[in-house]
Amino acid sequence: MRTRHWSRLLFIIAPLFLNAGCQTAEQEPTLDEVRSIAEKYRDVNVAKAEGFTTDNKCVTAEMLGHPAAMGTMGLHYVRRDMLGLPPKPAPPGSGRVHGTGTHTDFRQPAMLVYEPQPDGSLQLVAVENLVFASAWHQRNKEPPTFHGRTYPLLKDDPNTKVDEAHGWEPHYEQHLWVFRDNPNGAYSPFNPKVTCRYHKPPLPAPQPM
**What's the pTM value of the predicted model, to 2 decimals?**
0.84
Note the pLDDT tens digit of each residue in 160-170. 988 888 889 99
Q: What is the maximum span of the chain, computed from C-alpha positions, in angstroms?
A: 83
Helix runs in 20-147, H state only: 31-38, 44-49, 133-136
Note the pLDDT tens digit of each residue in 36-65. 999 999 999 999 999 999 999 999 999 988
* CA–CA dist 160, 42 (Å, integer): 36
